[in-house]
Amino acid sequence: MGIRDLLLDVANRFDTTLTTTSGNPGQEVLKAAGDRLATALPYGMKARGHGGKGGAAATPWIQIYESTTGGSGTDGLYLAYIFAADLKSVALTLQQGVTVFSNQLETTGKKLRTHLTVRAQSLLAELPRELVADWSDQPEFKHTGWRARAYEASSVAARCYEIDQLPAEEDLCADLGNMATILKATLAVEPHIEVMNEPEGPIVEYRTSGHVTYEGLEGFQPKTSDDYYVQLAAAEQRRTRAHEGLIRRFGPYILRRGFTPITHRVHPRDLVLQANGDEWLVEAKAVKKGNPTQAVREAVGQLLEYRYFWYALRGEPKPHLLGLFSEDIGVYTNYLEEHGIGAIWRTPDGWAGSSTAISWGMADVVSQSLT
């Protein structure tokens, strides 16, 4: 008895019209899930079935979790086999506990689903690309209840199976083992990501003070610079309002100058500009208390680091480098020029730039109007 037999038993025997105490044979199958899967689970993991409380669950599910750190089903991260309401399909999915977020947001509706979706996408963006490349299925649980819809939104990575086309047992075990590795990586990333709810919608903040290390992933060997970079990508990237405001103001301005600003799916890079087949890597820094020293140091370090890992190691053409600052950086303009880095900064009435930035057409000798 293994994963395949258990999934088939739930699909064939669970009755969503019966209560949990009225002789529903599927409930007994779910109660025995932990014992039946004991020999099929990755080391250190446990299982338990969930068939509902009182009334039968619309979408029965089997939780697979870390015995010491896994989620309870109401919070934390865990794996789950979640059945669609018609019991014709099941998804192996990496889930976020939805109840805790429902309680925090005091809603079971769209606001909750949006929060879960943003959080899932943020977690996924921090994981090694090769690790999650084949886990992009979007579960559909075919039920309008809030939990089923929240489970769909909550999924970080998933693979969906049709019950009448279930893979062989060894393939299901291999899939679960791979997903256990994804869970470990996500558990390492999660503490460094916070999704805050603002009136305009969820905002993601990256709040670590150092690089993420994947403790417990000794068996995972990154094979590309993409994978290695994930560890660097979670370095401190706290998005202050001043930082985000600087980028928001700069975007429309640089667009008018003929450059396409891109922020979507470029994290941890602040901003990428494209024009006439060329690309500019932009690092934005808010100058604090009129002292540009720290801002310039951070900008140089990150620009060189990102150019190396995101371009050089990937065999991509090296981009031009641009520092974007909230105010004039004084003598550091020439310092950046010496290192081949252009600079643009905000002025009381517009934008000004270094000689290299001017040569690129990003600024004129005279500051540009904000209007």
For residue 204, the cross-strand partners are 195
Closest-CA residue to 160 (of 185, 184, 140): 140
pLDDT of the residue at 22: 61
> Interhelix angle for 169-189 vs 3-13, to 10°?
90
Token reading at 95: 């889930």
Q: Are 94 and 44 in contact (CB under 8 A)?
A: no
What is the Cα–Cα distance from 258 to 182, expressed in whole angstroms?
41
- In whole angstroms, what is the distance from residue 354 CA to residue 333 CA? 6
**3-class secondary structure, 37:** coil
Phi/psi of residue 201, nearest 5 degrees: 130, 180
Give pLDDT, residue 92: 98
Domain boundaries, the chain: 3-205, 241-359
Do the first three CATH levels of 3-205 and 241-359 match, i.e. the same topology?
no
pLDDT tens for each residue of the chain, 371 residues long: 699 999 999 999 998 887 766 677 889 999 999 999 998 998 888 999 999 887 889 999 999 987 665 455 556 899 999 999 999 999 999 999 899 999 988 999 999 999 999 999 989 988 888 889 889 999 999 999 999 999 999 999 999 999 999 999 999 999 999 999 899 889 888 887 888 877 767 777 765 434 344 443 333 333 333 333 333 333 333 334 567 778 878 888 888 899 988 887 777 788 999 999 999 999 999 887 778 999 999 999 999 999 998 899 888 999 999 999 999 999 999 999 999 999 999 988 789 999 999 999 999 865 444 43
Instruction: Label residue 52 left, alpha or beta by phi (over 0 means left) and psi (-120 to 50 means alpha).
Output: left
Amino acid at 40: A
| CATH architecture for the domain at 3-205 | 2-Layer Sandwich (3.30)
Contacts for 366 with CB less than 8 Å, ≥ 6 apart: none
Fold of 241-359: Trna Endonuclease; Chain: A, domain 1 (3.40.1350)
Nearest CA-CA partner of 113 in 70, 66, 146, 135: 146
Burial class (CB in 10 A: 0-12, 13-18, 19+), 145: middle
pTM of the predicted structure, to 2 decimals: 0.58
CA atoms within 13 A on the CB side of 292: 21
**What is the C-alpha to C-alpha distance for residues 7 and 176, in angstroms, rounded to an integer?**
13
pLDDT at residue 71 in the model: 52
Res 371: pLDDT: 37
Q: What stretch of H or E contains 262?
A: strand 260-262
CA distance 141 to 126: 26
The stretches of 89-240 forming alpha helices (DSSP H) are 98-105, 110-125, 129-132, 146-154, 169-189, 225-233
Alpha carbon distances (Å) from 324 to 123, 179, 281? 27, 40, 10
d(CA 148, CA 142): 8
